[in-house]
Amino acid sequence: SKVPPLVSCLMVTANRPGLAARAIHCHAMQTFTDSELVIVDDGDEDYSEVIARHGAPGRVRYVRLPHNPSLTLGDLRNISMDAAQGEWLVQWDDDEWYSGDRIETQLDAALRAGTGAAALKWTLMRVNIGGRPVTFRADSGLATPGTILYRRCRTRYPSMRRNEDGVFLRGIADEVGLSVLGPEAAALFVRVHHGANTWDLEHFLKRLHRVPTQWPGWLLARYVRRDLTTLPAFALDDQEKRTVAALDGWSPLTTASEGVSASDHH
């Protein structure tokens, strides 16, 4: 019998195959290959073609469900967890960008620390300001909920339509212990604001003035310079710049077997 993969990446999605193609591609490009991508889809649009084009061959499981308005995002995430075969599970949202070493780095962090979970405190945030895409580095309180990798355990997502992953993160931390990676790991994960997110743009920009020590700089950039990109958060290091270049270089015309690099598409 086939040995189950060590890691299952869990995607809940509906009616946005174009957006999901990118996250499916990011899974296929992972340096850690003992993984599967489980896609739970309760929409009308079929993802089979996108999976065939961008998915890791033989490592994507596609679960289609009839749409049920009473099921929340939290409920659907729990269904994806039940469908998974891996010992470790990773939230793998359809609208973010993941660097190739995301699974490897987070799994390594959890195993080294002997914790049952690992998440990123810092991520990159991609937003449009004044009609142009810009990227900044931002942190969150305990850790960024959508970044969690965790060993299979009892904690479940609450039946909520948003912030279900924030509640889940705290439950996981309490049950199995959480390793939190610092700013050096921000390049592993880009949260992309595209207008159809669960949260609005202001929620993304709030990260720039989350704590009082950030307020003077924020006020200066926002109201005096009138240019948020003058904030230190927008000064990316080389690794972060490479991640942004890969995101910008990605094209839906690329297949998984071609292995896109940042320089291929400009």
pLDDT tens digits, 113-145 = 999 999 999 999 998 887 888 899 999 888 999
Per-residue pLDDT band at 263 (split at 50, 70, 90): very low
pLDDT digits (tens, 9 = 90+) for 205-246: 777 777 788 878 878 877 888 888 878 888 999 999 999 999
Note the pTM of the prediction, 2 decimals.
0.88
Q: Is 131 exposed, middle or buried (0-12, 13-18, 19+ CB in 10 A)?
A: exposed
In the sheet with 149-151, reading across from the earlier edge strand, the strands are: 60-64, 35-41, 7-13, 88-91, 149-151, 117-120, 178-181
Q: What's the whole-number average pLDDT of the chain? A: 89
- Give the pLDDT score at 164: 94
Among candidate residues 188, 5, 30, the one with its CA nearest the CA of residue 88: 5
pLDDT of residue 9: 99
CATH superfamily of 7-258: Spore Coat Polysaccharide Biosynthesis Protein SpsA; Chain A (3.90.550.10)
pLDDT in tens, 183-207: 999 999 999 886 555 556 677 677 7
- Residue 266 pLDDT grade (very low, low, confident, very high; cuts 50, 70, 90): very low
> Quick check: 41 pLDDT over 50?
yes
* Helix, strand, coil % in the chain, rounded to nearest 5: 40, 20, 40
Domain ranges of the chain: 7-258
- Report whether pLDDT(149) > 90: yes
State the pLDDT at residue 254. 64
- Residues present in the chain in total: 266
Of 16-25, 30-39, 85-94, 194-203, least confident by mean pLDDT is: 194-203
Angle at which helix 73-83 crosses helix 164-176, to 10 degrees, equals 50
pLDDT number for residue 212: 82
